[in-house]
Chains A and B, each alone.
Chain A
């Protein structure tokens, strides 16, 4: 029995996000805006930090009990955390999901350009980005500023 299964029991329904780099589970929580689920009586979030992993040495795992990650959410997770594994669980059955890449991202990320209209206080401008995977960047649709995909975690909206 692996140490992981000793730590937390399996779930019958929900999403298991595996192979998150160690101590990066908070990025998943922000990208999925999981705090917005705090009123939902059915959803539980189980976070495991620093679990031994053959692939990564150490990793985090996020189990979303009674919550199915949407296709759009899955795509953004895969863009920001390329090592992530997304498993949908239905009636104990595990189905691994490999999402494609998102073409656009709405919200979730602050524009790195401080003089962007989306960073002006009280203006109702939600940041929006075009993903340019071939160049390793996303581009703000308002101000054109580029952000390297690997720097996205530094700009996640709390």
Chain B
């Protein structure tokens, strides 16, 4: 990339790799190839180990964070990532006080923000399809930071990065996904990204009401990914010994039309020492956090708990992604 794209400051090529993500929209993990993901991972790895310094690579650049949902973690993660790369951050956050709450459309908000000369828009919005819509609205690269229950690509990048660093590989990984797979935005993104790897097997463990959406199944079938659905408690126990990783998501009471149905199933989807006893000793437990009571604190001190490290990986991944999307050297 020309050095002007990295803010006028020559940063050199940290890896000497071709930046395949420069200027691209990051809307869906379906659009990311294995090479795209590996580039982000290698950069994030270098950031983590201190061999790659991305500080000030975005000096003089402007990143807009439009968060039309009360999300704090992802907002903070992007904010700190952009700031530590030296970018100026323009943020529209708390929807309660912003113009969006006053009835401005997302379209108008984006057009207004564009007028400030931003180099990238990071969007969190409750509507599915919002990120693609914004990407079509603006010529500036758009990063999807969560589009309703549809996708959350940067979460999937940090999830697969965590699997790769802990397991040493992603190919052939056997991954159980437990909890609310229907309304979780992280699950589709994770599945789409995993489809780039060879021999991955996915086990969807959820009550029928919260099972994975059909378009995710269709995508996996078309990409030749093996998956299986386990709905009942004893099916889950049966699947446990096969797993390398158990990825847990939160089950929300509001998803059930009948609260007694919620009470009936919730016990089967709590991860505690007892459930872990059915799995392998080195089974890794992941969770996008925040958790409620689906992940017992007794798991925290076990070596199986990968989720705090997983959460820590958010920052290097978002730094690497912002750097690359804004045209930094690969």
Which residues on A are within 8 Å of B, measured CB to CB?
111, 113, 115-120, 122-125, 132, 135, 139-146
Contact A142 B126 (CB under 8 A): no
* Other-chain residue from B106, B107, B150, B218 in contact with A143 (beta carbon distance below 8 A): B150
The answer to whether A146 and B218 touch across the interface, beta carbons within 8 angstroms, is: yes
For residue B130, CB closer than 8 A to chain A, the reply is yes
Q: How many residues of B contact A (CB 8 A)?
A: 19
| Residue in chain A with minimal CB distance to B216 | A144
> Please, which residues of chain B bring their CB within 8 A of the CB of A115?
126-128, 148-149
Q: Is B105 an interface residue (CB 8 A)?
A: yes
Contact A116/B128 with A144-B150, A146-B218 known, Cβ cut-off 8 Å: yes
Interface SS majority for chain A: loop
Q: Which residues of A contact B237 (CB under 8 A)?
A: none
- Closest A residue to B103 by beta carbon equals A122
Judge whether B106 and A123 touch: CB under 8 Å: yes
Is the beta-carbon distance between A123 and B107 smaller than 8 angstroms? yes
Distance in angstroms between the alpha carbons of A139 and B129 in the assembled complex: 12
Q: List 28 A-B contacts (CB under 8 A).
A: A115-B127, A115-B149, A116-B127, A116-B128, A116-B129, A117-B106, A117-B125, A117-B128, A117-B130, A117-B132, A117-B133, A119-B127, A120-B106, A120-B127, A123-B127, A124-B107, A125-B107, A135-B218, A140-B129, A141-B132, A142-B132, A142-B133, A143-B147, A143-B148, A143-B150, A145-B215, A146-B214, A146-B215
Contacting residues, chain A, for B215 (C-beta < 8 A): 139, 144-146
A125 proximity list for chain B (CB < 8 A): 107, 129, 133
The smallest beta-carbon distance between A143 and chain B, in angstroms, is: 4
B133: chain A residues within 8 A (beta carbon)? 117, 123, 125, 142
Residues on A with C-beta less than 8 A from B106 are 117, 120, 123
Contacts of B121-166 to chain A: CB distance below 8 A: 125-130, 132-133, 147-150
Across the interface, name the chain A residue whose C-beta is closest to B214.
Answer: A146
CA distance A139 to B222 in the complex (A): 14
Query: How long is the Cα–Cα vector from A141 to B127 in the complex, in angstroms?
Result: 14
Q: Do A143 and B105 touch (CB < 8 A)?
A: no
Which single residue of chain B is at the shortest CB-CB distance from A119?
B127
Question: A146 contacts which chain B residues (CB < 8 A)?
Answer: 214-215, 218
Per-residue contact bits, chain B 199-242, to A (CB 8 Å; 1 contact, 0 not) = 00000000000000011001000000000000000000000000
Which residues on A sit within 8 Å (CB–CB) of B130? 117
With A117-B127, A143-B148 given, name 5 new contacts (CB 8 A): A113-B128, A117-B130, A123-B107, A143-B127, A144-B128
Q: State whether A118 touches B218 (Cβ < 8 A).
A: no
- Asked whether A143 lies within 8 Å of B128 as measured between CB atoms, the reply is yes
C-alpha gap A44/B132 in the complex (Å): 40
